[in-house]
Amino acid sequence: MIQFFHVGKTYPGGQVGLDDVSFSLERGAFTFLTGASGSGKTTLLRLIYRGDVPSKGQILVNGRNVSSLPRSKIPYLRRTIGVVFQTFLLIERKTVFENVTYLPRLLGQDLASQKKVAFEALRRVGLAHRLSAFPSELSGGEQQRVAIARALIARPDILLADEPTGNLDPELSWEIFKLFLEINRQGTTVLLATHDRAMIERVGHRVLTLGTGHLVGDEMLPPTPTATESPWRETAAPLPTEPGLAP
């Protein structure tokens, strides 16, 4: 689904963002991207959604060469990729509903279908009841969940996240990590950049490590048992008992 072949990125000032990076991610995978500050994580993510073009090598997303994509085709690529950043980038004077429906509104979708997709995306992040709240009325974790709902609205195949918990305390970070796992379980390919080694070890899965632009690690970590719990256990209605176990 995402393939890098000897990808390099040198910035105009001569700074090396990535150097000879090759890897491939299967459809439906959950993968962490880690590495020290300046190791190239943001650069790598930006190249996937054509936020920038590589200086060397090739990148295929769904079999298409991203760097040679004509400008007119970039919106199609972006529709298959949702992106979540460290700063939530919500518009403060717009409601949750208006924030998440930014793209459908831009595409001229009618209000009824905007409501349908917004409700569905917000339900997935456990915030369907806060449609009319403003970002300032939400906690940091809730604001990030709105940003995730906004990224999910076009039903992307791939969800990229760049330090999505960088501004959150450990408790909220764990909530957000579990949300990404749940989104992945529902079929979306997830690539998540983070420094948070403790969370990575808790969640498990594949971990790609960058060191000054090079891919220096590619390992599989087993998840801890708690990582497989539902993200909304604490706040949602009680989970139904397993079939056969009900009294």
Ligand X SMILES: Nc1ncnc2c1ncn2[C@@H]1O[C@H](COP(=O)(O)OP(=O)(O)OP(=O)(O)O)[C@@H](O)[C@H]1O
Residues in contact with ligand X by the rule CB under 6 A: 11, 13, 15, 17, 35, 37-43
Residue 95 vs 212, nearer CB to ligand X: 212
43 binds, options Mg ion, ligand X, none, Cβ within 5 to 8 A by partner type: ligand X
Residue 17 vs 141, nearer CB to ligand X: 17
In three-state secondary structure terms, 5 is strand
CB-side neighbour CA atoms (13 Å) of 77:
24
Q: How far apart are the C-alpha atoms of 105 and 114, rounded to whole Å?
A: 7
35 binds, options Mg ion, ligand X, none, Cβ within 5 to 8 A by partner type: ligand X
Beta strands 2-10 and 16-25, pairing class: antiparallel
Beta strands in 26-157 (DSSP E): 30-35, 56-61, 64-65, 81-84
235 binds, options ligand X, Mg ion, none, Cβ within 5 to 8 A by partner type: none
Minimum distance between the CB of residue 189 and ligand X, rounded to whole angstroms? 20
User: For the chain, how big is the Rg over CA atoms in Å?
Assistant: 19
Minimum distance between the CB of residue 11 and ligand X, rounded to whole angstroms? 3
Residue 35 vs 141, nearer CB to ligand X: 35
CA-to-CA separations, 100 to 15, 88, 113, 147, 162, in angstroms, rounded: 35, 12, 13, 7, 19
99 binds, options Mg ion, ligand X, none, Cβ within 5 to 8 A by partner type: none
15 binds, options ligand X, Mg ion, none, Cβ within 5 to 8 A by partner type: ligand X
Residue 170 vs 211, nearer CB to ligand X: 211
Residue 86 vs 189, nearer CB to Mg ion: 86
Total Cβ atoms within 10 A of residue 63: 7
Instruction: Give just the sign of the alpha carbon dihedral 228, 208, 144, 151.
Output: negative
- From residue 35 to residue 64, what is the string marking binding to Mg ion with x (rule CB under 5 A)? ------xx----------------------
Q: How far apart are the C-alpha atoms of 150 and 170, rounded to whole Å?
A: 23
Minimum distance between the CB of residue 12 and ligand X, rounded to whole angstroms? 7
Site for Mg ion in 192-211 (CB under 5 A): none
For residue 235 the two structure tokens come to 């706040």
Residue 40 vs 57, nearer CB to ligand X: 40
- Residue 233 DSSP label: T
In three-state secondary structure terms, 42 is helix
Contact residues for Mg ion, defined by CB under 5 A:
41-42
